[in-house]
Chains A and B, each alone.
Chain A
């Protein structure tokens, strides 16, 4: 008996839709085994991970808060990936956006600046993220440097810059030597949507980004260019579309959205600049982008799902002493299964019973 992968004549739409679900299912099975091996009750663990966070209002808000940066970043990444440009450094662009936006907050601290502060911070964050993303993009276009490596390496540069700033020039003088800026002024803070709640304006912005992404990809000629360049580069050139320009464009958009997500995170839920503002949003967003099939609406759903794993992971740590690293294992396993299941869209499994000894009756 032999198991072979056979190419499909046309792409299967049904499988394209259910393949993420199959991947989630396989991930849950794998995690169940993992929990069992760790000596934890798998059923209880899965409950704490996936069901409990959905049961109370606080957790639901927290899911939206966590999903906000994931979705924003992933929409940008999906544009890159559709155009065959591999931006792996969204985490760095996120941090640069946070740093650049915080600069305004730090400089206007306590001088009763007007309401222009927050919009300026958001704008500067987005610009900084875009410029930071353009470094690997330009290296790719001008010198042919692998954008995968350069964008990834720039993550650590951004991380160390942030670290330096909050330990040095921007450190809060009243902060007992903790590496953090002072708490941002109210005009430099993203307003919450519910009195006393955690849900903030950034989540609305994320929804707008989703809608804009859907319109861009589905309705505009630019979106078409992005898709053709990725799907058939030679045909794109024949169509008159400039692949290099699109690499620059998608990296810039992706960097801007990552930077915006970064400054929103700092000026919103965190409230000040400090190391560790991101639990790896820029990397998790890669999973979100693929789990969402590089489709804006899919990314929204995937972002909420991945946010659930963050919240569930925290609760599992508190309730069952499951280490937080298990959440990262979970996300890695999920990405692995998503990519594996994707081959089913273009291929199908077929079982061949015994080598054809007699060339007859094998069907």
Chain B
């Protein structure tokens, strides 16, 4: 085990927080296996690992949400037993979760007040909220209702709420997953400041470049075990990835030549009112996608990506049939089944409950989208052999790992279920594939398989529309990238011209011209 951080850097002799052989068992499954971790003040400590490596369990244990099965927590050198998060907060441990726990219809101040343990009056809380948020450069209007705020602003609420308890130790779970690169930069400034104030930070991420830039120490988990503690600045992104995955990740290879053919999917001036009061109004969206092409749509979550997906899939119908054109046929008024018959296939963001029925078998989930065409249904009767055959083919082609031939969808890991869903659609040989967040929450190995599958599908002549919040993913596989902001879609840029910086500015709402100018001024 490496330990390149010298003790000389530390100002105090004992770590602020220690986990000693911390173990958490769920039945026979070891989520955390004898994990030793030292957190020092004045340090940003990265916690790296793939999904399911045990990161969440570990931080939940530290925050008092999960009771350890064995091992010990030490706070400033002394044994600590936490029966709940309020005890953790009382000691000075704060946490910012990846999924926000905010009430949309309440104001910023009301949300913060609900999350605080003390006996302050609401007025005092509002005043202190304004003070804290300004002093850290995280401006927030206490009187605004949460549903009006951007994702970045919502995260600010969570961070400010944690800071208002003046924590000695702050845990952040994937804080940049929902931010534009510029917003992430602003966050890093805040984190550096917190560090300089002597606080300790545990930073969970799987963005390795970010960790190399920001963190002083990194602990890497794999399959519930600690693999290494190292100085990320002294490592390369590839070496960190190797430690996380335990093997080289296959590189995704685009086909050398891809022929761009006929238009397969067109969106023509699509305007759509949201059907839910907090939804996004789609405004004047147009694009054309040809066979052999992959078009990426970048953007911060909640800028209309879900609404666009629903409009393309037919889960929401447009009034004007001509707004969505699939294979040359006006399809805006057609149901999702009719669109599938035209050769379209769809992969939604949410795997469980949207892409699949969680408590149904894979064969039944193959039938879910496969019933429209092919041999799965004969005279109203289900051909079970054909559905099982579809499962077997998907399993084989996309390396879906599962305990038995035909398990319930919910029993598969995220990566394997996603491979199944993407594979299920690809094996139907679609002419158009619309996929939302293809590798969200998926381990690196599965993500590589899925990206490769999308590239291969395009190489075979299909048009692929990928919506993702992961800019690197889009740059890796797309030919052109457009950005979604407040229900509008920017003009697509050829990937060669789409720098992270440019995309980031578009994601933050700047127009393309302004972006060009900023770019020109910057260079």
Contacts and interface: CB of A to CB of B under 8 A. Distances in A.
B73 A232 contact: no
B313 A232 contact: no
B380 A238 contact: no
Interface in A226-285: 227-228, 231-232, 234-240
Interface string B299-341: 0000000000000011100000000000000000001110010
27 contacts: A10-B411, A11-B408, A219-B381, A220-B380, A221-B381, A228-B357, A228-B364, A228-B368, A232-B356, A232-B358, A234-B354, A235-B353, A235-B354, A235-B357, A238-B336, A238-B354, A239-B368, A240-B335, A240-B340, A355-B83, A358-B81, A359-B70, A359-B81, A360-B68, A362-B67, A362-B69, A363-B25
A360 B353 contact: no
Contact of A224 (B340, B364, B411): B364
Interface string A214-225: 000001111010
B357 A359 contact: no
Given A224-B382, A359-B69, 4 more contacts: A221-B380, A221-B381, A221-B382, A237-B336
**Max chain B CB contacts within 10 Å: which of A224, A235, A355, A362?**
A235
Contacts of B193: none
Interface string B63-74: 000011111110
Nearest to A238: B354
B381 A239 contact: no
A182 B25 CA distance: 73
A356 interface: yes
A25 B202 CA distance: 53
A118 to B, nearest CB: 30
Nearest to A361: B70
B372 interface: yes
A237 B382 CA distance: 19
Contacts of A37: none
Nearest to B368: A239
Interface in B32-91: 67-73, 81, 83
A222 B380 CA distance: 7
Nearest to B83: A355
A361 B364 CA distance: 43
Given A240-B335, A357-B81, A363-B69, A11 B359 contact: yes
Contacts of A240: 314, 335-337, 340, 369, 371-372
Nearest to B29: A9
Nearest to A235: B357
A227 B382 CA distance: 14
A362 B314 CA distance: 52
Nearest to A231: B357
Contacts of B71: 359-360
Interface of B: 25, 67-73, 81, 83, 313-315, 335-337, 340, 346, 348, 350, 353-360, 364, 367-369, 371-372, 377, 380-382, 407-408, 410-411
B67 A239 contact: no
Contacts of A10: 407-408, 410-411
Contacts of B372: 240
A110 to B, nearest CB: 45
Contacts of B380: 220-222
Query: Top 10 nearest A-B pairs by Cβ distance?
Result: A240-B337, A232-B357, A239-B368, A235-B357, A240-B336, A359-B68, A234-B354, A221-B377, A356-B67, A231-B357
Give the contact-size bracket for chain A: 20 to 34
Nearest to B70: A360
Contacts of B355: 235, 238
B367 A224 contact: yes
A363 B350 CA distance: 35
A235 to B, nearest CB: 4
A320 B72 CA distance: 65
B81 A235 contact: no
A308 to B, nearest CB: 32
Contacts of A362: 67, 69
Nearest to A219: B381
B369 A220 contact: no
Contacts of B337: 240
Contacts of B411: 9-10
A4 to B, nearest CB: 12
A306 to B, nearest CB: 28
Nearest to A9: B411
Q: Which of B70, B354, B368 has the most CB of A within 10 A?
A: B368
Interface string A31-55: 0000000000000000000000000
Nearest to A10: B411
B369 A238 contact: yes
Interface in A193-231: 219-222, 224, 227-228, 231
Contact of A238 (B70, B348, B367, B410): B348
A236 B365 CA distance: 10
A360 B350 CA distance: 37
A222 B364 CA distance: 13
A227 B369 contact: no
Contacts of A234: 350, 353-354
A224 B408 CA distance: 15
A357 B68 CA distance: 11
A232 B353 contact: yes
A359 B75 CA distance: 14
Nearest to A363: B69
Given A360-B70, A361-B70, A221 B357 contact: no
A138 to B, nearest CB: 21
Contacts of A236: 357
Highest count of chain B CB atoms <10 Å: which of A219, A227, A231, A238 = A238
A239 B382 CA distance: 15
Most chain A C-beta atoms within 10 Å of own C-beta, residue among B336, B357, B358, B407: B357
Nearest to A242: B335
B68 A238 contact: no
A11 B411 CA distance: 10
A360 B69 CA distance: 6
A322 B102 CA distance: 57
A359 B367 contact: no
Contacts of A355: 83
A236, A239, A355: residue with the most chain B Cβ atoms closer than 10 Å: A239
A242 to B, nearest CB: 8
